[in-house]
């Protein structure tokens, strides 16, 4: 599996952390902005609803004042008594022009409620039945909305009287049209929609409106309900609604709407500024992290190289890291460890592999008390060594002995054996596992052949010969010795037997115990000797001698 460099990981993790913090900051600002803007918009649209109600009340009051002023005109009495509609219309139009109210509609009714004239048409039709309104006159400033010619109008109706006699009625009407919603927008600062059962007028383009009649709007925005969200065109709005008019006539639905997206524009600017600042901080942080990562990982890279040297067996490697921090302490500890490994490597040359394995496994199993195992034991002893060394210097003696022992150790290792110990010029080797008997026998054959080759290559030096004993069986394996000096080795009768066979074997001979021969019978050539009386054994011991090509001494 491909590994990611430590420096890159530091850079990646730090960058991700910075980006995550920036994103979290932007999200927090966005959340707070949304919440604050939402609260602000809700307050503003609630205020807009109240301002719309105030504007309606002011408009109705103006209509009542207008009708009272018209009803007080003395000229109207004779005209209305004569039911002179055209003249009444002209009189009412002159009044509107003089008071600069050309957009208002004035209507004259007889005392019986018959329509006499209206200022916008010669034909005084299209006015809703007014008699019920005249029979129960509304209170002053009552909000009345009537449908005139299919369009919603605010209406105020007052009696025209003189001397306590009612000679007619005057009505003033103002249409709820586009001009009125524009006026409301200027007053409230919000978008306005007024919907009746038939149509809608608003400050929006009609094509962008999602609904066009009061029943449709009322499903989404209930009158006097808390602010709600809706979408008009491509913008999101907060909206509240209120019903216009009163208990008399129709009740159009007026909706006050404020753009949520527009209210969020200041926060968008803050977010953009924070984003730019965040990017600058992120880039600066990433650059600083890259520099820090290089300073941190440079000594780590040296530590990695040190571990590779250890894996390659180079225990002379030393780290040169000058740092007064944990990395420096780690490097110093590594150098101490390397020194310990060098010393351990040197010490391992003086102990068997089984001893090393025991030490390595001592944490998981207790072996110092000893355990019975089945092994093949090989003893190999030099013949005539004492006589040879009498005429040799100590240096030559050690050199010759090491050459002979190294040669045997190589063969033991070749056949998966383990040198248990060296006892003077004697080698004690252990073989375990599958084919341990054959491996020990092959090792013995190779030792004899290797010594023959060594002797042939050095005719001017003393001839080296060994006698070998091989025994297979149960032995006791454990740590033998005192508390401060232990030897992890094997003991038991089979070890003693192997030692005796080795001492009996002549030069270039290999003697096998019956326990070994029985397992390899038919696989190796060996002759059975007369049972030998071996020290330490009450009964004669069956012995087999390996066949080996004879060589002249």
Please state the domain count of the chain.
3
Domain containing residue 109: CATH number: 3.30.450.220
The mean per-residue pLDDT over the stretch 352-375 comes to 58
Domain containing residue 408: CATH number: 3.30.70.1230
Where among 159, 174, 189 does a domain terminate?
Answer: 174
pLDDT at 359: 45
pLDDT in tens, 194-211: 999 888 999 888 778 888
Encoding tokens for residue 434?
Answer: 């599958």
Within this chain, do residues 383 and 507 fall inside the same structural domain, yes or no? yes
Within this chain, do residues 139 and 204 fall inside the same structural domain, yes or no? no
Within this chain, do residues 361 and 498 fall inside the same structural domain, yes or no? yes
For residue 553, give every residue at least 6 positions away whose Cβ sits within 8 Å of its Cβ, in sequence order, or none: 463, 507
Within this chain, do residues 182 and 170 fall inside the same structural domain, yes or no? no
Within this chain, do residues 170 and 237 fall inside the same structural domain, yes or no? no
Give which of 466, 450, 438 is closest to 526, Cα–Cα.
Answer: 438
pLDDT at 365: 46
How far, in whole angstroms, is CA 298 from its chain's centroid? 28
Categorize the per-residue pLDDT at 283 as very low, low, confident or very high, splitting at 50, 70 and 90. Answer: confident
Within this chain, do residues 418 and 451 fall inside the same structural domain, yes or no? yes
Within this chain, do residues 97 and 143 fall inside the same structural domain, yes or no? yes
Mean pLDDT value across the chain: 83
pLDDT at 140: 72
pTM: 0.51
pLDDT at 550: 55
Q: Is residue 236 part of a domain?
A: yes
Residue numbers of the domain that contains 205: 178-264
Q: Is residue 470 part of a domain?
A: yes
Where among 264, 293, 317 does a domain terminate?
Answer: 264
Within this chain, do residues 124 and 234 fall inside the same structural domain, yes or no? no
Within this chain, do residues 480 and 370 fall inside the same structural domain, yes or no? yes
pLDDT in tens, 12-44: 877 788 788 878 877 787 777 777 777 888 888
pLDDT at 485: 63
pLDDT at 449: 94
How far are the Cα atoms of 338, 379, 431, 441 from residue 509, in angstroms, in the given order?
45, 12, 19, 11
Within this chain, do residues 164 and 202 fall inside the same structural domain, yes or no? no
Within this chain, do residues 255 and 385 fall inside the same structural domain, yes or no? no
Where among 207, 240, 264 does a domain terminate?
Answer: 264
pLDDT in tens, 293-336: 677 666 766 676 777 777 776 767 777 766 666 666 777 777 77
Q: Beta strands of 244-370 (E only): which ranges?
A: 253-259
Q: Answer whether residue 466 shows pLDDT above 90.
A: yes
């Amino acid at each position: 599996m491909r590994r990611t460099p430590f420096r890159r990981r530091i850079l990646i993790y730090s960058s991700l952390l910075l980006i995550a913090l920036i994103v979290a900051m932007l999200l927090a600002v966005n959340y707070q902005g949304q919440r604050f803007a939402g609260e602000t918009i809700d307050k503003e649209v609630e205020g807009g609803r109240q301002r719309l109600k105030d504007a309606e009340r002011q408009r109705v009051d103006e209509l009542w004042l207008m009708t009272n002023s018209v009803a007080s005109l003395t000229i109207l009495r004779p005209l209305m008594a004569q039911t002179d509609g055209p003249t009444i219309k002209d009189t009412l139009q002159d009044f509107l022009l003089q008071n600069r109210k050309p957009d208002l509609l004035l209507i004259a009714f007889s005392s019986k409620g018959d329509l006499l004239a209206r200022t916008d048409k010669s034909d005084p039709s299209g006015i809703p039945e007014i008699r019920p309104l005249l029979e129960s006159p509304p209170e002053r400033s009552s909000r009345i909305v009537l449908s005139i010619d299919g369009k919603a109008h605010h209406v105020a109706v007052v009696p025209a009287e003189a001397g306590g006699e009612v000679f007619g009625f005057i009505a003033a009407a103002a249409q709820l049209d586009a001009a009125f919603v524009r006026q409301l927008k200027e007053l409230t600062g919000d978008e306005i929609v007024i919907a009746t059962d038939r149509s809608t007028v608003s400050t929006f383009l009609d094509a962008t409106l999602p609904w066009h009649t009061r029943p449709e709007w009322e499903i989404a925005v209930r009158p006097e309900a808390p602010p709600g969200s809706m979408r008009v065109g491509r913008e999101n709005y907060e909206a509240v609604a209120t019903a216009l008019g009163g208990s008399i006539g129709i009740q159009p639905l007026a909706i006050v709407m404020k753009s949520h997206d527009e209210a969020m524009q200041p926060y968008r600017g803050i977010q953009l500024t924070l984003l730019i600042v965040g990017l600058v901080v992120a880039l600066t942080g990433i650059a600083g992290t890259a520099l820090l990562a290089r300073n941190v990982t440079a000594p780590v890279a040296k530590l990695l190289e040190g571990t590779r040297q250890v894996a390659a067996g180079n225990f002379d490697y030393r780290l040169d890291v000058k740092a007064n921090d944990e990395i420096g302490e780690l490097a110093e500890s590594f150098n101490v460890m390397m020194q310990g490994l060098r010393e351990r490597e040197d010490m391992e040359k003086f102990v068997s592999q089984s001893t090393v394995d025991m030490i390595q496994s001592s944490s998981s199993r207790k072996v110092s008390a000893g355990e019975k195992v089945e092994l093949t034991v090989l003893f190999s002893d030099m013949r005539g060594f004492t006589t040879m060394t009498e005429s040799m210097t100590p240096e030559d003696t050690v050199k010759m002995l090491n050459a002979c022992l190294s040669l045997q150790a190589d063969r033991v290792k070749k056949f998966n054996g383990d040198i248990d110990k060296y006892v003077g010029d004697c080698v004690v080797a252990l073989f375990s596992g599958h084919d341990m008997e054959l491996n020990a026998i092959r090792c013995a054959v190779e030792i004899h052949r290797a010594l023959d080759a060594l002797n042939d290559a050095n005719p001017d030096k003393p001839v080296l010969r060994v006698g070998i004993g091989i025994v297979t069986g149960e032995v006791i394996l454990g740590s033998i010795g005192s508390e401060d000096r232990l030897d992890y080795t094997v003991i038991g009768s089979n070890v003693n037997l192997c030692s005796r066979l080795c001492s009996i074997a002549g030069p270039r001979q290999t003697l096998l115990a019956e326990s070994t021969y029985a397992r390899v019978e038919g696989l190796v050539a060996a002759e059975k000797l007369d049972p030998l009386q071996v020290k330490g054994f009450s009964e004669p011991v069956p012995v087999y001698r390996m066949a080996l090509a004879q060589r002249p001494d």
